[in-house]
Amino acid sequence: MELTKRVSSVVAEAGATDLEAVSSAESELAKLANLVGQADRPLPDGRFYHFQAERQAYWDRAAAASPGIRIFRSHYQKRLREIYRQAVPRGKRVLEIGCGCGDLLAALEPSYGVGIDFSGAMVKAARDRHPQHTFIQADAHDFDLGERFDYIVCADLVNDLFDVERFFRNVGVHAHSSTRLMLNAYSRVWEFPRRLAEAVGLARPLLPQSWLTVEDVTNLLWLADFETIRHWTEILYPFPTPGVDALFNKILAKLWPFRVLALTNLIVARPRTASRREARVSVVVAARNEEGNIPNIFDRVPQMGSGTELIFVEGNSRDDTYGAIEREIARRPGMDVKLFKQPGKGKGDAVRTGFRNANGELLMILDADLTVAPEDLPRFYEAWASGKADYVNGVRLVYPMDDRAMRFANLVANRFFGAAFSWLLGQPIKDTLCGTKVLSRGDYETIAANRSYFGEEDPFGDFDLILGAAKYNLKFADVPIRYRERVYGETNIRRWSHGWLLLRMLAKAMRKLKFV
């Protein structure tokens, strides 16, 4: 703290254009750094300290501003809290950098929350308002807490930084392989309107900003070893007007051409990691009227990772599917297999039963009709184990499929749902209804704990998993497979009634995920 005060004092006396005085400031800094054992660390030039001292003083003054001055910004910040709450699950370890008075961090309800801000006045206000969390005065460019977090959030921060790439690299020090970095940055389109609002007194004057595009931020994240998962626009009308602000901010801000005029860009990123993940695998097979396919499933499901368990959930079949599974288990005493009777109805219920009873760290779904070859499962495992994706989805619409594998109406519906969900989720997903899906047990448990948000209407479980994975920012990957014709039994899908149900679920998902 004393170091910061002395440097700020020297730089403030120097002025931005007095090179001799700035050089003197740098010399003073080096002496002070040596006193605290940091002389070997690379130091930025004097402009950095002048830049930081100016902003520190600005935000100290902002912390003392009267509520009346902050009325419009308060409405904007309230909307930001709603947006972040939608994307960050409760009960996670959360670090907020540029936390201000701590309201956003508190709204996220973390199990462990830490806020960083370089304004002493802001940190004091945050500690007074939210004593249940930890608030630390530090520079966003250069701090080390010695711990890692599940979510790192930065609201309205990157535009105000001296060196954004350096900041992102410092963020990486506090991230583990599954950490999500969520940030928003002002859109460049609003630079002139913002200045106009400042001129007429509707907004507090800002210090000079870096008006970064989404492409700018994405590139800086890449240079700092992060990859962008998705981005979207928010807040078109930052004024409290009942009815009007909801229309503009929850709906029009997401639609072209209005989204071009949105005030802020939201970006979610994850660390680019080269480390490989190994896991025990649980393959869940929902089986109803599939007696003739059971021996093939036992023969063809491969061993993966550190071991593979096979979990059958039998759905009250009209044929002897349950007996066929029991006979195959008896024939293979050394095989790791579990068998359960489905307690409810629908594939979704069967899959959830299997997942609840799985011991593996990685969960897979395999359809019992064998239209997706079990021999393809290692490719799904590799996509997850390599770190390329958190949620791996099968795609039947890339390679040619067997002549009678999919009816024309189903093909059209699958292409429609793929396009609709790609737009809805902000990530490409070509085939939402392919039965083969892969995700970690930890990610599934987060989705399951918050399932009530989307409801329990999905009889197949496909939308349930996809929407939950998107809401909590899992990285998607599509794995193309060759779709085969069923060789035993008949499909359990009722095309038209189930298709209508899926359309209703899509409409609900738009309200709950896109227009919120």
Q: What is the pLDDT along the chain (516 residues), one digit of tens a residue?
A: 444 444 444 444 444 444 444 444 444 444 444 433 333 344 466 778 888 888 888 888 888 875 544 555 788 899 999 999 999 999 999 999 999 999 999 999 999 999 999 999 999 999 999 999 999 999 999 899 999 999 999 999 999 999 999 999 999 999 999 999 999 998 888 878 778 877 887 777 778 888 899 999 999 999 999 999 999 999 998 888 888 988 999 999 999 899 999 999 999 999 987 678 899 999 999 999 999 999 999 999 999 999 999 999 999 999 999 999 999 999 999 899 999 999 988 888 999 999 999 999 999 999 999 999 999 999 999 999 999 999 999 998 888 877 776 777 778 878 888 888 888 888 888 888 888 999 999 999 999 988 888 776 666 778 889 999 999 999 999 999 998 887 666 665 555 555 677 788 888 888 888 888
Do 129 and 30 fall within a single domain?
A: no
What's the burial of 215, exposed, middle or buried (CB within 10 Å: 0-12/13-18/19+)? Answer: exposed
- Quote the CA–CA distance of 376 and 481 in Å, as a whole number: 7
Residue that terminates a domain, selected from 247, 271, 295: 271
Work out the number of other CB atoms within 10 angstroms of the CB of residue 339. Answer: 16
Residue 172 belongs to a domain: yes
Residue 127 belongs to a domain: yes
Residue that terminates a domain, selected from 271, 292, 323: 271
Do 72 and 189 fall within a single domain?
A: yes
Do 262 and 323 fall within a single domain?
A: no
Do 98 and 184 fall within a single domain?
A: yes
In this prediction, residue 13 carries a pLDDT of 45
In this prediction, residue 497 carries a pLDDT of 58
Residue that terminates a domain, selected from 232, 252, 271: 271
Do 239 and 322 fall within a single domain?
A: no
- Quote the CA–CA distance of 516 and 511 in Å, as a whole number: 6
Do 252 and 160 fall within a single domain?
A: yes
- Quote the CA–CA distance of 84 and 419 in Å, as a whole number: 26
Q: What is the DSSP letter of 139?
A: -
Do 290 and 239 fall within a single domain?
A: no
Do 245 and 294 fall within a single domain?
A: no
Do 247 and 289 fall within a single domain?
A: no
Residue 126 belongs to a domain: yes
- Quote the CA–CA distance of 380 and 142 in Å, as a whole number: 39
Q: What CATH number does the domain containing 244 carry?
A: 3.40.50.150
Do 425 and 404 fall within a single domain?
A: yes
Q: What CATH number does the domain containing 466 carry?
A: 3.90.550.10
Residue 213: give the domain boundaries.
63-271
Query: What single-letter amino acid sits at 459?
Result: P
Q: How many domains does the chain have?
A: 3
Q: State whether residue 380 is helix, strand or coil.
A: helix
Residue 48 belongs to a domain: no
Do 427 and 480 fall within a single domain?
A: yes
Residue 49 belongs to a domain: no
Residue 376 belongs to a domain: yes
Q: How far is CA 73 from CA 62, 196, 246, 333, in A?
A: 12, 15, 16, 67
* Nearest alpha carbon to residue 117 among 127, 107, 108, 109: 127
- Quote the CA–CA distance of 289 and 322 in Å, as a whole number: 9
Overall pTM surpassing 0.85 (yes/no):
no
Do 13 and 95 fall within a single domain?
A: no
Cβ neighbors of 109 (< 8 A, separation 6 or more) are 90, 91
Question: Cα–Cα–Cα angle for 472, 388, 97, nearest 5°?
Answer: 50
- Quote the CA–CA distance of 455 and 318 in Å, as a whole number: 29
In this prediction, residue 505 carries a pLDDT of 80
